[in-house]
Amino acid sequence: MGNIFDEAARTWDEKPSRVENAQKVGEAILKFLPVSKEWRTLEIGAGTGLLTLYLQPHLCEIVAVDSSKGMVEVLREKVGKLGVKNVKPLLMDAERELPPGEFNLIVLHMTLHHVKDVPSLFERLRELLSSGGFLAIGDLLKEDGTFHRDNTGVYHFGFSKEELFGYFKEAGLEPYLFELVHSIERNGREYPIFLAVAKTPG
């Protein structure tokens, strides 16, 4: 898994659609959630930090986990250059382990379709969420497998609202929101992007 992204890391930010997509999902998170400077946040599959760096001025701290060494290196360099103090890049495979602590917000942006066992991840993420905490997923709406040129490491061709809300409920999370927030043009067609949010009870 790591290798595909290791190779892509250095040029990841050169594709404007990736930057724009992260920004649209970030805007929606700020619009729909009561984001606070007190919030401790975890991003899983943070990549080069497109969403992390967009959100960081509005949050207390972001632990930015990624399983690709190349991605984590690029994010470390960006954080250093920008002098950002509240972003902690961390090399970690979230399907094997998760960082310690409690988080008010956990985000995944274009990462969930690379996660093999979604129910198991959600169950472990719920344990890290504080009472009233949010899990926010930005990803592709159900597609026909044509979005990626190569589907290696792609375990889901997007998600439907029903499917995702089913996973939330299975993990003991309350579905909170599902909005289409953007769409990526590729192959002469549109691939809609959603923001789905769940909340911990309490």
| Binding site residues, ligand SAM, CB under 6 A | 1, 5, 18, 22, 44-47, 50-51, 65-68, 71, 93-95, 109-111, 114-115
DSSP 171-193: TT-EEEEEEEEEEEEETTEEEEE
Q: Which own/partner pairs from 117-123 qualify as long-range (CB within 8 Å, at least 24 positions apart)?
A: 118/156, 118/167, 119/167, 119/170, 119/171, 120/95, 121/44, 121/94, 121/95, 122/167, 122/168, 122/170, 122/171, 122/173, 123/170, 123/171, 123/172
DSSP 28-90: HHHHHS---TT-EEEEES-TT-HHHHHHGGGSSEEEEEES-HHHHHHHHHHHHHHT-SSEEEE
104 is written with which tokens? 């008010």
> Which residue's CB is nearer to ligand SAM, number 71 or number 136?
71
> Which residue's CB is nearer to ligand SAM, number 6 or number 61?
6
Smallest separation, CB 25 to ligand SAM (Å):
8
Smallest separation, CB 124 to ligand SAM (Å):
11
> Which residue's CB is nearer to ligand SAM, number 68 or number 200?
68
Smallest separation, CB 54 to ligand SAM (Å):
10
> Which residue's CB is nearer to ligand SAM, number 51 or number 181?
51
Smallest separation, CB 170 to ligand SAM (Å):
19
> Which residue's CB is nearer to ligand SAM, number 40 or number 109?
109
> Which residue's CB is nearer to ligand SAM, number 162 or number 191?
191
Smallest separation, CB 114 to ligand SAM (Å):
4
Smallest separation, CB 194 to ligand SAM (Å):
14
Beta pairing, strands 87-91 & 103-109: unpaired
